[in-house]
Structure 1
Amino acid sequence: MTVYYVNSATGSDRNGGTGQNSAFATLSKVESLKLKPGDSVLLAKGSVFNEQFDIKYSGSESAPIKIGSYGTGAAPVIHSSGDGIHSLYASNIVIENLKISNTAGAGIYGGSVTNWTVRDVEIAKTGLSENAGAVTFRSSKNVTIEDSKISDVRGDGFWIEKVTGIKLLNNTVTNAHGATADAVQMNDSSNILIRGNHLDQTHADSPKGVIALVRPVNAVVEDNTLTGGSFGISAQAGKNVAIRDNDISGFHGYSWSFAVGLGDTGDTRDYDIAGNHIHDGAWGVVISAAGSPSYDRTNIKVHDNVFDDLSQAALKVDRPASGSFSNNTIESGVTATSISPSIVDAHTFSVSNNHTVANVETALASPVAKTAAATEAAADPAVVAVHDNLKILSDTGAAHHGNLLENDSSDNDTLVLRRFGDETVGKHGLTLTGEYGDIHVDREGNYAYTLDETKLPTDHSGHVSESFSYGVNDGTSHHSDGDTLTVLIHLDGLLS
C-alpha cells in the first residue's frame, strides 16, 4: 500500500512520488503508474492541475484506492478541457477533499464502475460544453456521494443512469443552469437513497426542476430541502417509492408546477408520500399525465403532509389511479383536492381525516378532530400500537420522560412515530402545548412532558388528565396503527 504525493508547485515528475519532499508534479505521471489496492494519491493543498485525471485501476473492497489531499490551505483544484476525473470499469475507489471547476465536461464521470465513494468534494462551473451532469455515473453499482457541494454548473448537478445502489447524502446543489437541467436527474436506477440534501434551483438560469426520477425502483427520498425549479420531485413512473419528510418550496415557474408529480411516463406502483412540508408553489401532489395513456397508477398513499401557500390544490388526480389522501394538514385558503368526477365516482382514491387550519404551526384543538385522528388507522396486525400512560405523582419542575413505542410492535421490527396529536412528527420532533403542560416527541417515540402547575385547578384533591393521540408505522408506511397517551396527574401529591 503506497502513498503517492503530487504537488503542482514544487513537485517534479522525475521524483519518486512517495514522499512530500519528492512529490510528482502532474496527474498524468500518476496515470502512468499501475495503482494497486490500498494505494493513495494525495494532491497538495493549494495545487492547481490543468488536466483530466483518469483512474484506470481498481482497489478492493477492503483496500480501496483513495484520491485525496494533504497539507494546509485551499483544497487542490482540477481544471480540464474534458472531465475533471474520468474512469471506466474501475472499482473500489474513494475520492475526497478536492475541488473540481471550469471543466468542459463533467466534474466526475464514472462508467461501468463499482463501489465508489465521493465525499467532501466541491464542484463548480463544470459542463462548459453543455455536457450533462456535474457528477455523472452510468451503468454502475454501489455509488455513494456525500457531503459534497455543486454550484453554478451547466447541465444537471447529478446525472445518474442505470445505477444499482445509489446514495446521495447531505450534499448541496446550488444553481444547475440550463433549460433541461435538474439538481438531480436519475434514470432507470434502483435501490436509491436521497437523504439530507439541500438542493436549491431558485436562481438557476431557466432550470427544469429539482429532482427528476425516471423509472426508479426501490427509492427513498427523505429529509431533503428542495427549493425553486419548475417542480420539486418528478417521479413519474416507478415502483416502491417513498417520498417523506422533505421541505419542498418555491416551485411556481408555471401554472402546472408541482411539489411531487407522478403518473405521466409509465406505470406507477406503491408510492408513499408522507410527512412533507409543501409550500410556496402551485400544485402540491399531482397524479396526472399528458393525454390519456393507459398506465397503472396503483397504491398511491398521500398522508401526514402539511400544505400551505399554494395557488392550486394540495392534491390533483385527473387520471385513473388508486390510493388515498389522509390525515394531511392544509392551511385555510388552499384548495384541498382537485379530483376528476370519474375518479370520484369510481371510489378508487379515498379522501379522509384531513384537517384545515388557519395557521399550519398551530395544533388542532378540536375534540372531534382528535377523536377522528385517534381512530384513523384501520386494524392492521402487522403493526400494533398499545395504549400508554404517564402518571405524575410529584413534580420537581423537570420533564417526565417515556417512550411511546416500547410496548408497540411490528412484523419487521421497525417502528416510527409519524403523527402525534393532529400534527406530523418531523425530523426535529414536535412540541405540543396540552391542557396542563407541554410535551415534546421525536420519531423514535421518546417523549418529555413538562407540567405547568399554573394550569392546574385550585382544588387540591383528586386528579386531572389529558390525552394525546398518536400514529405509528413500520417505516414503509404500508402498515400502521394508532393509540393514545394518557397523562394522569394526581393533584393531592402535587399541591397539598
Structure 2
Amino acid sequence: MTIYYVNSATGSDRNNGTGQNSAFATLSKVESLKLKPGDSVLLAKGSVFNEQFDIKYSGTESAPIKIGSYGTGTAPVIHSGGDGIHSLYASNIVIENLKISNTGTAGIYGGSVTNWTVRNVEITKTGMSENAGAVTFRSSTNITVEDSKITGVKGDGFWIEKVAGVKLLDNTVTSANGSTADAVQVNDSSNILIKGNHLDQTNADSPKGVIALVRATNAVVEDNVLTGGGFGISAPAGKNVAIRDNDISGFHGYSWSFAVGLGDQGNARDYDISGNHIHDGAWGVAISDASGTSYSRTNIKIHDNVFDDLSQAALKVDRPASGSFTNNTIETGTKATAISPSIVDAHTFTVSNNHTVANVETALASPVAKTAGVTEASADPAVVAVHDNLKIFTDTGEAHRGNLLENDSSDNGTLALRRFGDESVGKHGLTLAGEYGDIHVDREGNYAYTLDETKLPDHGGHVSETFSYGVNDGTSQHSDGDTLTVYIHLDGLLR
C-alpha cells in the first residue's frame, strides 16, 4: 500500500513520488504506474493539472485505490480537453477532495466500473461539447456520489445509465445547462437512492427539468430540495418507485409543467408519492401520456402531500390508471383534481379524505378537523417566526454569527430554515451577496454575515439591510416568515 504524491508546481517526474518532497509533477506519470489495491494518489492542494487522468487499475473492497489531496490551500484542479477523470473496467475506487473544471466532456466518466465512491468533489464548466453529464456512469455497479457540488455545466449534472446500485447523497447541482440537460438523469437503472440533494435549475438555460428517472426499478427519491426547471421529477416508467418528503417548487415554462410526472414512456407500477411539499408551479402530480400509447399505470398511491400555489390542478389523470389520491392537503385557490370522465366512470382511481385549507402555512393538524373534509386556517399559526437583528459596531474581518431560529417556535418543537431571500436553503446551506456584505445560512438557522468594506459608504452614521426568511416545522405542513435586519454602525468600524 503505497502513497504517491503529485505536485504540479514543485514536483518532478524524475522523482519516485513516494514523499511530499519527492512528488511527481504530472498525472501521466501516475498513469505509467501499476497501482495496486490500497494505493493512494494524493494531489497537492493549489496544483493545476492540464490533462485527463485515466484510472486503469482496480482496488479491492477492503483496500480500494484512493485519489485525493494533501496539503493546505485550495483543492487541486484538473482541466482537460477530454474527461477530467476517465476509467473503463476499474473497480473499488474512491475519489475525494478535488476540483474538476473546464473539460471538453465529462468531469468524471466511468464505464463498466464497480464500487466507486465520489465525495467532496467540485465540478464546474464541464462538458463543453454538451454531449456528456458532468458525472457520467454507464453499465456499472454500485456507484455512490456524495457531498459534491456541480455548477454551471453543459449537459446533465449527472448522467447515470444501466447502473445497478446508485446512491446520490447530499449533493448540490446548480444550473445544468444545454438543450437536453437535467440536473439528474438516471436511465434503465435499479436499486436507486437519491436523497438529501439540493438541485436548482432556476437559472439554467435548459428547457428540461430537475430529475429524470426513466425505467427505474426499486428507486427512492426523498428529502431533496428541487427548484426550477420545466418539471420537478419525471419518472415516466418504472417499478417500485417511492417519491417522498421532497420540497418541489418553481416548475414553470410549459402548460404541461409538473412536479411529479409518470406514465408516458413505458409501464409504471407500484409508485408511492407521499409527504412532498409541491408548490409554485403548474400541475402537481401528472399521470399522463402525450403520445397516447397504451402503457399500463397501476397501483399509483399519492397521499399525505401538501399542494399550494399551483396554476393547474394538484392531480391530473388523463390516461387509464389505477391507484388513489388520499389524505392530501390542498390550499384554497388550487384545484384538487383534473381526472378524465372515462377514468372516473371506471372507478379505478380513488379520491378520498383530502383537505382544503385557507393557508397551508397555518393549517390545523387536528384529526377531528380533517374528518370534516374542509379545514380552515387556524387563528394561531403552528409555527411562529420572530424578527431578528444583528448590530455591528466593530469589525475585524471575521464573520458575525447568530441563529435565526433560537427565538422562533413550533407546536411540534422542530424548526427548519426553508427559504432565505428568494432562495431555497439546501442541505449544504445557502450563501447570498447582500448590499454591504455576504451571508451564509444553513437549515438549522445558523448564519454568518461577513462585511465587504468595499461596499460600505464613505461617511459616518449607520446603514442597514434586511433579508427575508421562511421557516417550517420540518414537515412543510406549517410555516411562517420574518426578516433579519443587519445594522452597521460605520463610526465604530476598524477601517
* Global fold match (TM > 0.5): yes
Deviations 1:184-227 (A, max 9, x none): 01100000000000000000113410000110000000000000
CA contact (8 A) 1:201 1:207 kept: no
State the match for 2:90 in structure 1.
Answer: 90
Write out the 4+ residue segments of structure 1 that deviate beyond 3 Å after TM superposition. 365-373, 438-442
CA contact (8 A) 1:36 1:65 kept: yes
SS in 1 for 2:30: helix
Question: What CA distance in whole angstroms lies between the structure 2 residues aligned with 1:207 and 1:3?
Answer: 45
SS in 1 for 2:360: coil
Question: What CA distance in whole angstroms lies between the structure 1 residues aligned with 2:343 and 2:365?
Answer: 33
- TM-score, normalised by the number of residues in structure 1: 0.75
SS in 2 for 1:182: coil
1:175 aligns with 2:193: no
CA contact (8 A) 1:305 1:328 kept: yes
SS in 1 for 2:345: helix
State the match for 1:360 in structure 2.
Answer: 360
Deviations 1:3-27 (A, max 9, x none): 0000000000000000000000000
State the match for 1:303 in structure 2.
Answer: 303
Aligned length: 382
Query: Superposed, which structure 2 residues align to 1:78-477 within 5 Å?
Result: 78-364=78-364, 369-371=369-371, 438-440=411-413
CA contact (8 A) 2:305 2:329 kept: yes
Partner amino acid, structure 1, of 2:49? F
Question: What CA distance in whole angstroms lies between the structure 1 residues aligned with 2:49 and 2:366?
Answer: 65
CA contact (8 A) 2:176 2:206 kept: no
Partner amino acid, structure 2, of 1:78? I
Question: What CA distance in whole angstroms lies between the structure 2 residues aligned with 1:206 and 1:53?
Answer: 29
State the match for 1:74 in structure 2.
Answer: 74
State the match for 1:59 in structure 2.
Answer: 59
Sort the Cα spacing of 1:204 and 1:439 in 2 relative to 1 into closer, same or farther, 3 A: closer
CA contact (8 A) 1:176 1:207 kept: no
Partner amino acid, structure 2, of 1:215? R
CA contact (8 A) 2:213 2:235 kept: yes
CA contact (8 A) 2:182 2:206 kept: no
Sort the Cα spacing of 1:208 and 1:370 in 2 relative to 1 into closer, same or farther, 3 A: closer
Question: What CA distance in whole angstroms lies between the structure 1 residues aligned with 2:286 and 2:370?
Answer: 28
Sort the Cα spacing of 1:22 and 1:367 in 2 relative to 1 into closer, same or farther, 3 A: closer
Deviations 1:43-71 (A, max 9, x none): 00000000000000000000000000000
Partner amino acid, structure 2, of 1:154? K
SS in 2 for 1:62: coil
Question: What CA distance in whole angstroms lies between the structure 1 residues aligned with 2:221 and 2:325?
Answer: 19
SS in 2 for 1:242: strand
Kindly state the Cα deviation for residue 369 of structure 1 after the two structures are TM-superposed: 3.3
Sort the Cα spacing of 1:366 and 1:228 in 2 relative to 1 into closer, same or farther, 3 A: same
Sort the Cα spacing of 1:238 and 1:432 in 2 relative to 1 into closer, same or farther, 3 A: farther
Deviations 1:127-155 (A, max 9, x none): 01112200000000000000000000000
Deviations 1:83-123 (A, max 9, x none): 00000000000000000000001000000000000000000
Kindly state the Cα deviation for residue 361 of structure 1 after the two structures are TM-superposed: 1.5
Sort the Cα spacing of 1:162 and 1:12 in 2 relative to 1 into closer, same or farther, 3 A: same
Question: What CA distance in whole angstroms lies between the structure 1 residues aligned with 2:80 and 2:55?
Answer: 15
Give unmatched runs, 5+ long, in structure 2. 374-404, 416-495
Question: What CA distance in whole angstroms lies between the structure 2 residues aligned with 1:159 and 1:291?
Answer: 25
CA contact (8 A) 1:315 1:337 kept: yes
- The Cα RMSD (Å) is 1.7
- TM-score, normalised by the number of residues in structure 2: 0.75
CA contact (8 A) 1:235 1:262 kept: yes
Sort the Cα spacing of 1:92 and 1:193 in 2 relative to 1 into closer, same or farther, 3 A: same
Question: What CA distance in whole angstroms lies between the structure 1 residues aligned with 2:367 and 2:133?
Answer: 52
State the match for 1:10 in structure 2.
Answer: 10
Question: What CA distance in whole angstroms lies between the structure 2 residues aligned with 1:295 and 1:94?
Answer: 41
Question: What CA distance in whole angstroms lies between the structure 2 residues aligned with 1:124 and 1:439?
Answer: 40
Partner amino acid, structure 2, of 1:323? G
CA contact (8 A) 1:83 1:106 kept: yes
Deviations 1:156-187 (A, max 9, x none): 00000000000000000000001110000110
State the match for 2:402 in structure 1.
Answer: none
CA contact (8 A) 1:69 1:75 kept: yes
SS in 2 for 1:200: strand
Give unmatched runs, 5+ long, in structure 1. 374-427, 443-496
Question: What CA distance in whole angstroms lies between the structure 2 residues aligned with 1:370 and 1:80?
Answer: 58
Question: What CA distance in whole angstroms lies between the structure 2 residues aligned with 1:91 and 1:365?
Answer: 50
Deviations 1:377-429 (A, max 9, x none): xxxxxxxxxxxxxxxxxxxxxxxxxxxxxxxxxxxxxxxxxxxxxxxxxxx9x
Question: What CA distance in whole angstroms lies between the structure 1 residues aligned with 2:272 and 2:412?
Answer: 28
CA contact (8 A) 2:145 2:167 kept: yes
SS in 2 for 1:10: coil
Kindly state the Cα deviation for residue 365 of structure 1 after the two structures are TM-superposed: 6.7
Query: Which shows bigger deviation, 87-96 or 287-296?
Result: 287-296
Kindly state the Cα deviation for residue 363 of structure 1 after the two structures are TM-superposed: 2.7
Question: What CA distance in whole angstroms lies between the structure 2 residues aligned with 1:48 and 1:39?
Answer: 22
Deviations 1:460-479 (A, max 9, x none): xxxxxxxxxxxxxxxxxxxx
Question: What CA distance in whole angstroms lies between the structure 1 residues aligned with 2:274 and 2:327?
Answer: 10
Question: What CA distance in whole angstroms lies between the structure 1 residues aligned with 2:36 and 2:357?
Answer: 62
Kindly state the Cα deviation for residue 253 of structure 1 after the two structures are TM-superposed: 1.0
Sort the Cα spacing of 1:316 and 1:432 in 2 relative to 1 into closer, same or farther, 3 A: farther
Sort the Cα spacing of 1:262 and 1:432 in 2 relative to 1 into closer, same or farther, 3 A: farther
Question: What CA distance in whole angstroms lies between the structure 1 residues aligned with 2:193 and 2:367?
Answer: 39
